[in-house]
Structure 1
Amino acid sequence: MIGVFHPGDSLVHRAPALLKLGLLAALVTAIALQHSVLVLGGACVLVAGIAALARVPFRLLWRQLVPLLWLLAIAVPVQLLLAGWELAVTVALRLLLAVVLAGVYSLTTPVTETLDAAQTLLRPFRRWIDADRVGLALALAIRAIPLLGEIVAEVLDARRARGAEGSIRAVAVPVIVRALRTADHLGEALVARGLDD
């Protein structure tokens, strides 16, 4: 669901995309560098406050967290076994907070504003960087995240419909194959539009 704008008139919706991008980068960096469970607990309160201020429906934020729960179901027990409960909780909180912040950003900011902000940031470097191509790459990356989520959901639905239970490999292989096919189709579409040079 990342990249799906939810219209609204909250303070977060009205804030400029450049400001939101800067705050997102600063908060995610601060969270990633934090090792204290207590401080990360405080960050949870802050992020919950930001989400409440944005007035986005909880169900939309939850739908962005669901794919992460699969990763946490694997990562947290491994961390518990190898490094102890404190590191396991720290890793889980860092990931959850980063995804919630990214979700709030994407739900309150249209993709076009994000692309305009990225191009504004890159303008001083236009001598070395083609801002339009970077904008296109960013737009494709933003679109790829929910698209991959849809592919995973379709594969899981197909397995459930057949009554199949299985390992992660039984889900991963069809997901990877479908993702590669989608990437091929996208590449062909870009070449057809003359974006291959």
Structure 2
Amino acid sequence: MLIGAYIARPSPLHRVPAGAKLILLAVACAALLAVRTPAGVGASVLAVVVLYAFGRLRPGEAWTQVRPLRWFVLVILVVQLLITDWVTAVSLTSRIVLAVALAGLVTLTTRTSELMAAIERGLSPLRRFGVDPARVSLVMSLAIRSVPVVAGIAQRVRDAQRARGQERSIRAFAVPLVVGVLRYADTLGEALHARGMDD
């Protein structure tokens, strides 16, 4: 699942226009930058939980949005604990998770085509400066769609590690992951080239 996997549900969030969601996402992420206290983090977590409830999304569907971050967040948390206090460390890592959860909420409740159309409309004034809104929205769409693909590759590599008893080997994880991602990139590049979009 993860980011980019739209789930059709009859919820209030699903009916909100894509453009409005993107604007609110930007505002919410900016607001998260101001969160510094445990009380603020708690209130932010509660707000995100309520939003997922409004979207009629299950806990498991919410978890898949942030699950790939768990090791990254753990490393960041440990580093922050070494150089700052625990309040700052928890605040920073929580804000990262919440921002990803909010982005996941937008993509779970909005079709990719609607997001692309909203981005094109938002960037249309930049045409006069040589920006092609259609290409920008295509790149962003590909980025969104690539996240679950890369996460899937990572999961398959991790499963293969466990089967071989090499769970603790960083090399056994990193090398197949890089090879898999590069193969996916080659396939994607060939598809774009076939459609005349390789410039």
1:30-63: CA deviation from partner (whole Å, max 9, x where unpaired): 1024322321221111111111111111111111
Deviation at 1:195, TM superposition (A): 1.0
Which one-letter code corresponds to 2:127 in the other structure? R
Deviation at 1:192, TM superposition (A): 2.0
Which one-letter code corresponds to 1:76 in the other structure? L
Cα distance between partner residues in 1 of 2:170 and 2:127: 44
Q: Specify the alignment match of 1:41 in structure 2.
A: 42
Question: Can you give the 5+ residue segments of structure 1 that lack an aligned partner in the other structure?
Answer: none
Cα distance between partner residues in 1 of 2:189 and 2:145: 14
Pick aligned residue for 1:189 from 178, 188, 191: 191
Q: Give TM-score scaled by structure 2 length.
A: 0.93
SS of corresponding position for 2:151: helix
Q: Does residue 84 of structure 1 match 2:85?
A: yes
Cα distance between partner residues in 1 of 2:87 and 2:39: 10
1:143-176: CA deviation from partner (whole Å, max 9, x where unpaired): 1110110010010011111122223343122212
Q: Specify the alignment match of 1:162 in structure 2.
A: 164
Cα distance between partner residues in 1 of 2:139 and 2:171: 29
Cα distance between partner residues in 2 of 1:3 and 1:42: 26
For 1:98-177, what aligned pairs fall within 5 Å after superposition?
98-127=99-128, 128-177=130-179
4+ residue runs of structure 1 moved beyond 6 angstroms?
Answer: none
Q: Specify the alignment match of 1:67 in structure 2.
A: 68
> Matched residue pairs, number?
197
- After alignment, is 165-174 or 71-80 more displaced? 165-174
Q: Specify the alignment match of 1:8 in structure 2.
A: 9
Q: Give TM-score scaled by structure 1 length.
A: 0.94
- What is the RMSD computed on CA atoms of the aligned residues? 1.3
Cα distance between partner residues in 2 of 1:133 and 1:102: 21
Which one-letter code corresponds to 1:72 in the other structure? V
Q: Does residue 18 of structure 1 match 2:19?
A: yes
- After alignment, is 90-99 or 110-119 more displaced? 90-99
- After alignment, is 132-141 or 160-169 more displaced? 160-169
CA change 1:123–1:108 in 2 (3 A) is same
Question: Can you give the 5+ residue segments of structure 2 that lack an aligned partner in the other structure?
Answer: none
